[in-house]
Structure 1
Amino acid sequence: MAEYDSSVNEHADAATDAVLQGIAVSEPEDSLPRVTLEELPQAVGEACRRAGWQSLMPVQSLALPYLLAGRDIMVQSRTGSGKTGCYLLPMLPHLSADLKAPQALVLAPTRELAVQVEREAAIIFADTGIRTVAVYGGVGYKKQMDALRDGAQVIVGTPGRVLDHLLRRTMDLRDLRVLVFDEADRMLSIGFYPDMKEIQRYLPQKRIHTCLFSATYPPHVLKLAREFMAEPAMLSLSQKEVHVAEVQHLFCEVKPMDKDRALVRLLETENPASAIIFCNTKSNVHYVTGVLQGFGYSADELSADLSQSRREAVLEKIRQGKLQYLVATDVAARGIDIPQLSHVFLYEPPEDHESYIHRAGRTGRAGAAGTVISLVDVMQRMELDRIAKHYKIGIMNMPLPSDEDVARVAGTRLTAILEGRFRNLTGLERMRVGRYAQLARDLATQSDEEDNVLLLAMLLDSCHQESLRETRFPDGQPRAASKMQGQGQQGQGRQGRSRSGRGKPSGGRGSDAAEGQPMVKEWASAQEGTASDAASGESRPARSGKRRRRSSRSRGAQGTEGAAGQSAEGQGQGSSHEGEN
């Protein structure tokens, strides 16, 4: 443990820190005074010293007063800004080491982040008796179940595995006090929205202190916040920018002949809810559209060459939300307002400075955040620098994702989709899957047969292509704030039973009445472990016969209030498991 040095300037005002680091701060209307390390409650200050901190980072200084006061808040802050300690520290006064049950739940998008948070929590909660466990997919259940059984108070996990433990009744959230969404934009990008809504059914009826951390706040993230939080305030720390204040400006330096592949890589890793790709010429618009459609994306073009009827058809798809990516020139896109536009891609910089502001202004509307990514070669980089200097816009360099990066991100998302679909299978459907378990093992283990690997890859690509036509983000009208956590258990009696035990509160029990043919149920139960191994690649404890029978009933009636988060087939059931590599 590093020695605490009181000579360090701990009294520096957070605003001064923000100015020095080039950060623009936007606080709630009823803002609270910023705090320094020495002004923190004793238990929190001691935790900082255990971690070796000598001063607070800007996001901590600004956000801790709200979090310590128990106010629901959305915090916009970049990765590496100190947000993990920001939400872990305020838990100390609210957690009891004597209560051996989950009292705080942190949802994270990947296993790597979950492990990182668990390690930092172990330092902050050292010598307090409060224990943390990370739960994520890709590994067995036993170690996680043992930690839960031993009474871990802080759970850090990916939504899919957390939901798995809730369904298995190895996790009980009735004593939960704090709920944190970390990197919510990435969780929605992976497709965890249905899982998060399912988890909501297990939340206790009392109010839970909820906070949400995200690098960006596009409309689908704001919808998520409204569904889980009561009158959340917004605290934003962002790079100083003018003209498009809520937009993040990035560029990737790419060779001219590699731009098409670079664009596809960015779409895979960023996975925007919707985007517009600007080109300078009609020929490039047509070419880029063909590339995106060839990769299976929901993309179309808009240029001056299109007939009026064709233009109207494209615009109608935009209005109906049936088009994810629009490729256009400046002239064709002028006057078009695409709702929930989270990203703008510049396939090439505009020919004049004002056009950059016009393009960037298509996103980040109505107070939401957005991202603008420019693809530039060496000469175009110089032109982009001139535009940035002219408008005093901070444009940051973004490393181009590698093929390995794309494979990892797409693999995470695809595994989430597959595991989510498997969890939603009926007993009969699992019986069908079980017939191919041995074939799947043979194909996967015969490493000397490259053709076998390609057969499996073909099936995965087919699933991926299908997922491109699904939306993995919140849709429809957001629920009223009064329906959030309080409905957790209150609605569970209704919603949970409608899904045959999948949404029951931890302490309740649904009907175990069996439906269907006994022989089919018995065979499916016997085959369950085999099918599960084939789908997930790990050994899972066999669920009980009762669990099987309840699952088979879940297809009949789904709770109406849970429909927004539970349209598993229509809305990217892909969000189910964490699917980390």
Structure 2
Amino acid sequence: MEHDEHMNETTQADEPESATPRIPEAGLNDLPEFLQEACARMGWTSLTPVQARTLPYLISGRDVMVQSRTGTGKTGAYVLPLFEKIDVTRPGCQALVLVPTRELARQVIAEAQAIGHGGKIKTASLYGGASYTTQLTDLRAGAQFVVGTPGRVLDHLLKGALNLDHLSFLVLDEADRMLSMGFYPDMKAVQGYLPRKKITTALFSATYPPHVKRLAGEFLHKPQVLSLSSDHMHVTEVEHVYYKVPGMKRDRALIRILEMENPASAIIFCNTKANVHYVTVVLKRFGYDADELSSDLSQGARDRVLGRVRKGDLRFLVATDVAARGIDIPELSHVIQYEPPEDPEVYIHRAGRTGRAGASGQAIILVDVIEELKMRSIARQFGVPIEERDLPGDDDVQELMSERAIALLEAKMRTRDLLQKERQERFGPLAKALGEDEELRPLMAMLLDEFYQSCVSKPVAVPADTGKKGKDPVKSESRKRPRRRPRKKRPAARKEGSGSASGSNQAPRNQQPASSNRE
């Protein structure tokens, strides 16, 4: 998919009555003068396709689902219209952008500050692993444009430091990654604080697997779908990717890829029964929920594995092609080929296990230098567009694992009451000593590793498919009017000895999983 290709709008063709009028794409000269000046400061002589298509919808207050990858100018696509709508005379959060990582939060806020250079819009970035002091200062100063990770945003909401009563715009950036990192419960908790008035919501995602579409259905209202270089949203394609790996370190390369991709579910294909067993053992030793399927298994063991597959509670199935015949795993997000197959046609059969029933998926294959030539030959033979990606380095993996661990720890902290927090303070001096003493630091790393593995060993939490109609925002004509929720009240201070405290991290009592943020 090339970034310079134009975007196309899509609506559900079989439900024309639900479609809303299309808006022509915008040019740089169509923007308000101060936005043109902002683009000039950024050195933009024209709008990118994603900006040209998205800007008119957000400026007009329409919800959108945008299929766009990193590097297409998507940040400018939502920052520009948000800046056009923010009332600089009114303090408080008017635009909220939720992102999966602190690095992306920093990038978004840096671009927003560059675009608004010399302007009066106040900004704040909220993410884990950073001091609360600066974040609280920015919020108390009346930050109008807020960017943050769901967990840290929720922390500030629970503490009353962030108020969304004046919110008009909500952006979910890289929603596919947010779900893969397990932020969905936090996002639903944040949704409980959204105002009952109509707000404009935009969702940006590189792909639209079924669970991402269901997420859109819970946050957006009759969105216009804007997709790169296609007449249909990219939910029917399989993305083909290969990683060039050292021949003797293929197992460790697989672990790095799994950490970065964090698949919701996957089949990992091996050519031999010996490799199936070896890979399964490696995955289990690294804390992953994995099981093997080969002809060496007894019938009882095979039935046990297949039972987990049918229930959908097995995250990684490692199998040979023969053993995996006739097995269908619904909504399989990834197919990973640990090694290229002997028969070129087998590659297509393996890759076809994902991207079924209107879903998107990824087919990943690991190759060494010699196997790369074979893989490119297979791609030419079957007309498969395949992308080479650099193998993640140790620093990349450590950074992402740190992001994920902080988010998980903050979520865990929010489940603790005052008594539990008082109890943990007894270990504060020890925690400080473990972090500062190089010889004791491995003890801290061991504790973090055990906690992290206890979390990632479970399947990634994604929105469940209830089977009810109207969950797909592309197909849904209308939404039921949500029940009116009582206005949120500030939690009253607890009397001493009453058990749980006002600092409890529980979501407000009026929070409900409403299907829409508007009346």
TM-score range, shorter chain: 0.7 to 0.9
Q: SS of 1:332's equivalent?
A: coil
The one-letter amino acid paired with 1:234 is V
Which whole-Å CA distance do the structure 2 matches of 1:32 and 1:560 have between them? 35
The one-letter amino acid paired with 1:201 is G
Q: How far off is 1:133 after superposition?
A: 1.8
Which whole-Å CA distance do the structure 1 matches of 2:323 and 2:380 have between them? 27
Per-residue CA deviations over 1:144-194 (Å, capped at 9, x if unaligned) read 222222222110111122112111211110010000011112222222222
Matching residue of 2:490: 509
Matching residue of 2:16: none
Q: How far off is 1:272 after superposition?
A: 0.8
Which whole-Å CA distance do the structure 2 matches of 1:476 and 1:78 have between them? 25
Q: Assess if the C-alpha contact under 8 Å between 1:228 and 1:485 holds in 2.
A: no
Matching residue of 1:269: 260
* Mean CA deviation greater in 305-314 or 26-35: 26-35
Q: How far off is 1:55 after superposition?
A: 1.3
Which whole-Å CA distance do the structure 2 matches of 1:92 and 1:404 have between them? 35
Q: Assess if the C-alpha contact under 8 Å between 1:201 and 1:492 holds in 2.
A: no
Q: How far off is 1:340 after superposition?
A: 2.5
The one-letter amino acid paired with 1:474 is V
Q: How do 1:93-492 residues align onto structure 2 when only pairs under 5 Å count? A: 93-237=84-228, 246-447=237-438, 449=439, 452-477=440-465, 490-491=484-485
Which whole-Å CA distance do the structure 1 matches of 2:212 and 2:81 have between them? 23
Q: How far off is 1:41 after superposition?
A: 4.2
Matching residue of 1:549: 501
Distance change (3 Å), C-alpha of 1:559 and 1:475:
farther
Q: Assess if the C-alpha contact under 8 Å between 1:428 and 1:552 holds in 2.
A: no
Q: How far off is 1:33 after superposition?
A: 2.8
* Mean CA deviation greater in 475-484 or 281-290: 475-484
Matching residue of 1:499: none
Which whole-Å CA distance do the structure 2 matches of 1:485 and 1:182 have between them? 26
Q: How far off is 1:199 after superposition?
A: 0.8
What runs of 5+ residues in structure 1 fail to find an aligned partner?
1-17, 494-504, 522-547, 565-581
Q: How far off is 1:23 after superposition?
A: 7.4
Matching residue of 2:15: none
Q: How far off is 1:232 after superposition?
A: 2.8
Which whole-Å CA distance do the structure 1 matches of 2:7 and 2:378 have between them? 21
Distance change (3 Å), C-alpha of 1:365 and 1:68:
farther
Q: Assess if the C-alpha contact under 8 Å between 2:414 and 2:506 holds in 1.
A: no
Q: Assess if the C-alpha contact under 8 Å between 1:76 and 1:238 holds in 2.
A: no
The one-letter amino acid paired with 2:501 is R
Q: What is the TM-score with the length of structure 2 in the denominator?
A: 0.88
Q: Assess if the C-alpha contact under 8 Å between 1:28 and 1:235 holds in 2.
A: no
Which whole-Å CA distance do the structure 1 matches of 2:102 and 2:452 have between them? 21
* Mean CA deviation greater in 334-343 or 411-420: 334-343
Which whole-Å CA distance do the structure 2 matches of 1:238 and 1:246 have between them? 13
Which whole-Å CA distance do the structure 2 matches of 1:549 and 1:76 have between them? 43
Q: Assess if the C-alpha contact under 8 Å between 1:60 and 1:86 holds in 2.
A: yes
Q: SS of 1:549's equivalent?
A: coil
The one-letter amino acid paired with 1:178 is F
Distance change (3 Å), C-alpha of 1:331 and 1:462:
same
Q: SS of 1:435's equivalent?
A: helix
Distance change (3 Å), C-alpha of 1:53 and 1:401:
same
Q: How far off is 1:211 after superposition?
A: 0.7
Percent of aligned pairs with the same residue? 50
Q: How far off is 1:245 after superposition?
A: 5.4
Matching residue of 1:542: none
Matching residue of 1:75: 66
Distance change (3 Å), C-alpha of 1:322 and 1:25:
same
Distance change (3 Å), C-alpha of 1:206 and 1:560:
closer
Q: Assess if the C-alpha contact under 8 Å between 2:92 and 2:166 holds in 1.
A: yes
Which whole-Å CA distance do the structure 2 matches of 1:127 and 1:330 have between them? 61
Distance change (3 Å), C-alpha of 1:26 and 1:314:
farther
The one-letter amino acid paired with 2:195 is P
Q: Assess if the C-alpha contact under 8 Å between 2:96 and 2:167 holds in 1.
A: yes
Distance change (3 Å), C-alpha of 1:393 and 1:155:
same
What runs of 5+ residues in structure 2 fail to find an aligned partner?
13-18, 472-477
Q: Assess if the C-alpha contact under 8 Å between 2:313 and 2:459 holds in 1.
A: no
2:19 counterpart of 1:28: no
Which whole-Å CA distance do the structure 1 matches of 2:510 and 2:136 have between them? 29
Count of matched residue positions in the alignment of Structure 1 and Structure 2? 498
Q: SS of 2:405's equivalent?
A: helix
Q: Assess if the C-alpha contact under 8 Å between 1:137 and 1:161 holds in 2.
A: yes
Which whole-Å CA distance do the structure 1 matches of 2:114 and 2:501 have between them? 44
Distance change (3 Å), C-alpha of 1:336 and 1:44:
farther
Per-residue CA deviations over 1:413-456 (Å, capped at 9, x if unaligned) read 11211121112101221122122122222222222x2xx22211
Which whole-Å CA distance do the structure 2 matches of 1:238 and 1:281 have between them? 40
Q: How far off is 1:48 after superposition?
A: 2.1
